Amino acid sequence: MLVFDTNALLRYILQDNKEMADQVEEQIEHNSCFIPTEVVAEMVYVLSKVYNISKSDITEAIIGVLSIDTVTTSNFDVTVRGLETYTTSNLDFVDCVMAGYRDAGYVVFTFDKELISYLKR
């Protein structure tokens, strides 16, 4: 199984280097691929802070990649729920993933006041 890092996936999402983006696409088409949640978190951070891309566009792009048949990620449902929460909240992405775990039936233990407030909804 092939595991992707953030830089490779950013080239694919941003299409800012056609040659690299094409290489990533070829790998996705011909291999079983894994994207760690840590890489998703870093992509969210870079796309928002460096490239100033909107939350909804970030969510759409990343869910699009995670939904490709040859791609898997750690706990797909929790990661997608985290991305959806990120689009509609003021929480940082990692807190959104924690909310995704809550939505999946886990009990989240935290001292983070913003996260506690969100989880009470």
Give the torsion sign (CA, 58, 59, 64, 67): positive
Is the separation of the CB atoms in 80 and 104 below 8 Å?
no
**pLDDT tens digits for 91-114?**
999 999 999 999 999 999 999 999
Domain 2-119 sits in CATH 3.40.50: yes
The structural domains of the chain, with segments of one domain joined by +, span: 2-119
Burial of 103 (0-12, 13-18, 19+ CB in 10 A): middle
CA 2 to chain centroid, in Å, comes to 17
State the pLDDT at residue 14.
98
**pLDDT tens digits for 12-62?**
999 999 999 999 999 999 999 999 999 999 999 999 999 999 999 999 999
pTM over 0.95: no
CA 6 to chain centroid, in Å, comes to 10
> What's the mean pLDDT in 5-9?
98
> What's the mean pLDDT in 70-83?
96
> What's the mean pLDDT in 58-82?
97
State the pLDDT at residue 121.
86
Q: Is residue 108 left, alpha or beta, with left meaning phi > 0 and alpha meaning psi from -120 to 50? A: beta
